Chains A and B, each alone.
Chain A
Amino acid sequence: MSFNRRDFLKLTGLGAVSAVAARAAAAFPFFGGAPGAVKAETNAKTAKRWAMVVDLTKCKENCTDCIDACHTTHNVPDFGDDKRHEVKWIWKEPYKQSFPDQENEFLKDDLSERRVLVFCNHCQNPPCTRVCPTRATWKRPEDGIVMMDWHRCIGCRYCMAACPYGSRSFNWLDPRPHIKTITPDYPTRTRGVVEKCNFCDSRLAQGQMPACVEACKDRALIFGDLEAPDSPVRQILRERFSIRRKPELGTQPQVYYVV
């Protein structure tokens, strides 16, 4: 049995109080309301725990459709060869580097040279949110998305030291001159703040699937609710063998890899 925050609130009668507080917070976004959060529309996609499955058997080695889609949608700057100042939300990393704990000397041919899609794991037990001194990054209690508030972040980069997956990027320079084409309906960031994949929270609020999922013609990215037994993610995890990145750290990544 799991006893979650909602049960606790109900039990202690704090539910009503917190509902009022939530409404107050929505009315005064300055006090705790999350800027950037799009008002939920009626057709918003919701879940108890969002998760992604990456099907490596379908993902094509040289395809970058999902990466391009994500980075265009979210105004992620491109610093070209300047690797030091690179900002990226989703990218490909050699198999052995993505899964250092699976480092067998001899591997299936198709794996050993493989490059694997990596992005924020939206960990269920995220070390990055634990260390943040301003709660500028936090796990959304209703659906488990690890959010980022670029207006509150002070740029201390403690979260980057704490993330075991290198999922976070810092804006060492002003990103705007480095964005190829600015997507007007998504905010750009300023220098001095951290950013990362946010599971397309604003697209979900508008009833759309994540940009990377939509962009993948080979259906290698499967997105859904881990708490719903019939969801596509649960289905594929039931049928196929999957692994996660550095599970021994107890972060409980919500991104699964079918190999």
Chain B
Amino acid sequence: MLEKALQGGPKYWLWMILLAAVIGAGSLCYYTQLIYGLGITGMSRDVTWGLYIAQFTFLVGVAASAVMVVLPYYLHNYKAFSKITILGEFIAISAVIMCLLFVIVDIGQPMRAVNMVLYPSPRSILFWDMVVLNGYLVLNVVISRVTMGAERKGVKPPAWIRPVIVLSIPWAVSIHTVTAFIYCGLGARPFWLTAILAPRFLASAFSAGPALLILLCLLMRRLTKFDAGDEPIQKLSIIVAYAMAANVFFVALELFTALYSASPEHIAPFQYMFLGLEGKHKLAPWVWTSQSMGILALVLLIVPRTRKNMRILALACIGLNIALWIDKGMAMVVTGFVPSPLGHVTEYTPTPPEIMIAIGIYAIGLFILTGLCRIALSLRGQLEA
């Protein structure tokens, strides 16, 4: 099946070569980081996790969100999703691979990463995250291979795959829950120490992921003969709207608890996020952008007139992803470290090589996603329009 990824017109190849070039540039930066150490990044003794771990967190959400198409299709037999379920699984596969890469580039001694397997530590949430993420990757690879293989032969998928698919549903929830547990189990970090973190992660994931899927469908409609149809896109947009509403609600709950209780250690991080502390407020403009874009996108998604307009819907999905990316792919992680346990306010700015490494990993993800979509489309004979 994989050979299908090698067939394509000039536009396809140009895109893949472009991605390969970006991957090359990212690898070069990573090589420099290996030689020089993580000091090449903007992280510091006080802010010990940054862009990499934040991308990891964001992408775990994207990976988990495949469940929003898998569940209605397989459990409720919602036929409209039949064409796009496979796309959801492809997004999941490429997102999980990116997650694993982001962890690898973040650790100081990547050559020793196998120590996590040699000395398994069930008390560590990171250990469990490794287990569930790899499991999720295997599940999605198996499911998409088997269902696609059956489709190619024009037969029904074998019966044994159904329990595997059903298993992938709670598994998707588990990857993001366990990822939230990495943060919310730490007494040292009051900003993360909240039971709502996992639900909030899930809500933001279930709106960002399907929004990306909508964008992918719209893109493929323009570039290829594949048309998901309006109905599944509209259904997805409702899912996006509900999940985003839940996310905004959860954020409001957090703000209320922190601000009304007036407990200094809970207020301080929020203060840093929105206003800045000790005159340091690099994050604030980003956070305000994120909040306002998020609310605006939510309004556009809730009002039926705007939601049903594909062009506005696309804009709303883009805005929503930028908003949630800033929130989760940046603010959530960094703010946990500000102020530090000793009350110091150290700011974090990712450095150019650090950003390039992150872009390189995204390029790897897109490369894989493009290749996978290519395979599926050529099987269905729906290539270029």
Contacts and interface: CB of A to CB of B under 8 A. Distances in A.
A166 to B, nearest CB: 5
Given A133-B130, A174-B37, A84 B346 contact: yes
Contact of B124 (A158, A173, A251): A158
Contact of A152 (B108, B112, B127, B342): B112
Contact of A166 (B49, B115, B127, B342): B342
A169 interface: yes
A96 B339 CA distance: 14
B170 to A, nearest CB: 23
Contacts of B343: 96-97, 100
B165 to A, nearest CB: 30
B106 interface: yes
Interface string A85-102: 111000001001110100
B341 A173 contact: no
B126 A156 contact: yes
Given A172-B39, A173-B37, A250-B187, A135 B45 contact: no
A100 B108 CA distance: 31
A160 interface: yes
A78 B75 CA distance: 60
Nearest to B192: A161
Contact of B38 (A166, A169, A172): A172
B305 interface: no
B336 interface: yes
B39 A154 contact: no
**A-side interface mostly:** loop
A15 interface: no
Contacts of B164: none
**A-B residue pairs, 5 tightest by C-beta:** A155-B108, A192-B108, A164-B188, A172-B39, A84-B44
A32 B81 CA distance: 51
A132 interface: yes
A258 interface: no
Given A133-B130, A172-B38, 17 more contacts: A83-B346, A127-B186, A127-B187, A130-B124, A134-B118, A134-B119, A153-B112, A155-B38, A156-B108, A157-B48, A157-B49, A160-B48, A161-B186, A166-B340, A173-B39, A193-B108, A193-B109
A17 interface: no
B206 to A, nearest CB: 26
Interface string B167-188: 0000000000000001001111
A27 interface: no
Contacts, number: 137
A124 interface: no
B123 interface: yes
A11 interface: no
Interface in B101-127: 103, 106-110, 112-113, 115-116, 118-119, 121, 123-127
A86 B121 contact: no
A135 B188 contact: no
B186 A85 contact: no
A158 B182 contact: yes
A157 B336 CA distance: 14
A247 to B, nearest CB: 12
B342 A154 contact: no
Given A93-B342, A98-B342, A250-B187, A133 B336 contact: no
Interface in B226-281: 265
Given A84-B346, A127-B187, A192-B38, A132 B108 contact: no
Contacts of B130: 133
Given A85-B39, A127-B186, A160-B48, A154 B113 contact: yes
A80 B100 CA distance: 35
B38 A170 contact: yes
B160 interface: no
Contact of A169 (B45, B112, B118): B45
B127 A133 contact: yes
20 contacts: A84-B45, A97-B344, A131-B186, A132-B124, A133-B124, A153-B109, A154-B112, A154-B115, A156-B103, A156-B108, A156-B126, A157-B48, A161-B188, A165-B188, A172-B37, A173-B37, A174-B37, A192-B108, A194-B108, A250-B187
B106 A165 contact: no
Contacts of A220: none
Contacts of A170: 38, 45, 48, 108
Contacts of A153: 108-109, 112
A162 B188 contact: yes
A136 interface: yes
